[in-house]
Amino acid sequence: MEQKRFGIYLNAKELKVARINSPYWIPSGPDWGFLTPEVNMTLLKIRQLAKEKKLISEPDKLVWS
């Protein structure tokens, strides 16, 4: 089922995040990585999570895609 792939995805190369809660577009490839299944997470919390997981060096630069 597609819902298992719903959540927040991170593109560390472009410093972008995407909220995916429909099956019409699921990010893939080497640039996009699954960050969390929590689709309602705020950008502030996403930045904190990316920092905790040491995924990017400047989490304050993350923006919505």
Average pLDDT score, the chain: 92
Higher pLDDT pick, 25 / 51: 51
Stated as kind and residue range, the H or E segment containing 47 is helix 43-52
Q: Are strands 32-36 and 16-20 parallel, antiparallel or unpaired?
A: unpaired
- 14 phi and psi angles, rounded to 5 deg: -100, 0
Range of the domain at 45: 2-64
pLDDT digits (tens, 9 = 90+) for 22-33: 888 888 889 999
Cα gap 25→45, rounded to integer Å: 23
**Cβ contact 8:36 at 8 Å:** yes
pLDDT for 7 equals 96
How many domains is the chain built from? 1
pLDDT for 2 equals 54
**Cβ contact 50:10 at 8 Å:** yes
Asked if pLDDT for residue 65 goes beyond 50, the answer is: yes
Global confidence as pTM: 0.89
